[in-house]
Amino acid sequence: MDYRNRLILAPMVRVGTLPFRMLAAQYGADITYGEEIVDHKLLKCERLINETLGTIDFVERGTDNVVFRTCEEEKHRVVFQIGTSNASRALSAAMLVCKDVAAVDVNMGCPKSFSVSGGMGAALLTKPELIHDILTTLKRNLDIPVTCKIRLLKSSNDTVELARRIEKTGVAALAVHGRRVADRPRDPAKWGEIAEIVQALSVPVIANGDVFDYEDFECIRAVTGAASVMVARGAAWNASIFSPKGKLPWESVKKEYIRKSILWDNDIKSTKHTLKEMIMHYSSLELAEGKAVNKSNTLADLAELYGEQEYFSDVISSRLLQITVR
């Protein structure tokens, strides 16, 4: 994994599943982060080869719930992001997936209550000793790169000091979301404070925050001096943000996402969530399309809504043929 001069898909809950990661890569993303998976959840899973889909699935034991799905095609670029508050548990979880991903990242920036209440995400920012324990344990025992993603602390000096401590653990890169825990998405990202971190470290720093067009990649890199740039909402709204040729019409991006969701048999809840992210930015969930997506219960329903019935039928027929041959 090379963390310099890369365009990176940020980790996003329910969005960063296999179809969306493949979509972002198709448009130009060099590295794609999966959605955060909590270590407790992953430790309940078994690794299964899905011959029908050509995927590697981590499925919760005793259920058909796919917690993480990947494939050989993305192995060189997909980053598994883990939610954890315990070094040994983090290692046990990472060991399950380390042969199937390019790197492991520890979430240290999520401000959501489900994460913070469990001592994960942004809760780690005030526990530098625990951060050191988790990262050094992973680094010492894994053969793939270990990274982490943080938010800004209350003062820029505090953030720089924490970043320096993180660098000493031997991480391959550090991603920095240019907002504080209390900041909302509407608050501007503080690119200047990311620049201070970049100046203080020798390890590659990945800048994240307020990237909404392809031109913003170069803009934030110029302001911060960051090695690479990561984008979340801008990609969720239109994954073709990664294309140097400019964004494609969102209608075509949606249809391509539907096709990939069908191809990889994506969870319907995650598929609907991602579609609604796109719709809310360009339109409204109160209009006909938004209401129809809300009412959809299966991928077949979405295929019909977006005029992809023939593609859906072809994919299903191909799967049935594979099963019959086997």
Which residues are identified as catalytic? 110
Distance CA 197, CA 265 (A): 41
CA proximity to 186, closest of 222, 233, 141: 233
Give the neighbor-by-neighbor strand order of the sheet with 45-50: 45-50, 55-60, 66-70
Q: Is the sign of the CA dihedral 35, 41, 43, 49 positive or negative? A: negative
Side-chain half-sphere CA neighbours of 286 within 13 A: 0
DSSP state of 11: P
Q: Count the Cβ atoms, other than its own, within 10 Å of residue 202.
A: 7
Residue 146 near residue 171, CB atoms below 8 Å: yes
Q: Exposure pattern of 90-116 as b/e (b: 16+ CB <10 Å)?
A: bbebbebbbebbbbbbbbbbbbeeebb
